[in-house]
Amino acid sequence: MTAKPSVNRLSRIEMICNAPDRLAEFYQSAFGFVRIGQARIAESAVTTVTGVPGAAAYAVRLRLGEQEIELTAIVPPGRAYPRGVSGRSTLFQHIALVVSDMAAAYARLSANADVTGISTAGPQLLPASSGGVTAYKFRDPDGHPLELLEFPRNATPARWQKPAATTCLGLDHSALSVADTARSVAFYARLGLRRVGGSLNRGPEQDKLDDVAGAVVEVTSLAPPQNSTPHVELLCYRNGADRSLPPSATNDIAATRLILEVQNGAMLDALCAQNADAVWSGPVRLECGIKRAMLRDPDGHLLCLETAR
């Protein structure tokens, strides 16, 4: 029987920025990320994938624990991250970093003048019905939303119980705000992601965490069958999604994308054919041999299918 087309894992999160080296220094000093590589890409494939005429790219790869992010500058650049984008906006996407000591991580972060808070009253201990975690949301120097996440000591997943040299342990998930959970779950299921958890978050702690009055957030966790860290979270605000901002252009600072690894080029082609309505560009083969395609989910969030290195 032929295997159903599916992604292997969420390989990394790619964030667009103006100066990758400078932003990398922030992630290294604030969280303990380690720089593991950089690359300049000036080829027609960048234009093909991004849809930006004459585009070139410079990317810096960072690792924290076992997870990776990529900071990429695209020339010509797009728009800055819009001001005042709340979690209710379908433009919103954050990455969540697990910490072993929220007080220490928050103190270290608060000493950084380049950080802008989203949460209105510091870290918030959410009720058990919302997962019982302690969380804090903020923005990096370029405006990308981030979250610090500390699990309860008696309910910390095994993957986060390993000793670490830094307070920040790794990347747990990337959360995307969506207008319709069922529609988004159906879309990601076509890529091989399945529901692995969820909750309905509400109450004064959630309001302060998100800086959204009366927040009622349906949280749905999705992951490929064999690799659940990092995973994808869908955030659907029951009190209404904000669709006033259009989806980001591929070179805008807000154009964060999930890099989803697939086994080979044939599998990538099959997934693109199966999701032809969502394909933004590609598939295209880069000079390094990797095959890549860009997709948009139902709310305009960008995904990049990429063959394994």
Delineate the domains of the chain, giving CATH numbers in brackets: 9-80+251-307 (3.10.180.10), 93-237 (3.10.180.10)
Measure the CA–CA gap between 217 and 239, rounded to whole angstroms.
8
Quick: pLDDT tens for 175-190: 999 999 999 999 999 9
Output the average pLDDT for the chain. 94
* pLDDT value for 43: 76
Quick: pLDDT tens for 194-247: 999 999 999 999 999 999 999 999 999 999 988 889 999 999 999 888 999 999
Quick: pLDDT tens for 270-285: 999 999 999 999 898 8
* pLDDT value for 289: 84
Supply angle C-alpha 185, 277, 68, rounded to 5: 55
pLDDT band with cut points at 50, 70 and 90 for residue 264 = very high
Measure the CA–CA gap between 112 and 159, rounded to whole angstroms.
29
What backbone phi and psi angles, to 5 degrees, belong to 80? -70, 165
The SS3 assignment for 155 reads helix
* pLDDT value for 1: 43
Contacts of 288 by beta carbon, 8 Å cutoff, 6+ apart: none
* pLDDT value for 2: 57
Q: What is the mean pLDDT of residues 4-30?
A: 96
**And the tokens for 194?**
């399945």
* pLDDT value for 240: 86
Q: How many helices (H) and strands (E) does the chain have?
A: 6, 17
Q: Contacts from 264-268 at CB under 8 Å and sequence distance 24+?
A: 264/307, 264/308, 265/291, 265/307, 267/5, 267/6, 267/307, 268/292, 268/293, 268/305, 268/306, 268/307
pLDDT band with cut points at 50, 70 and 90 for residue 133 = very high
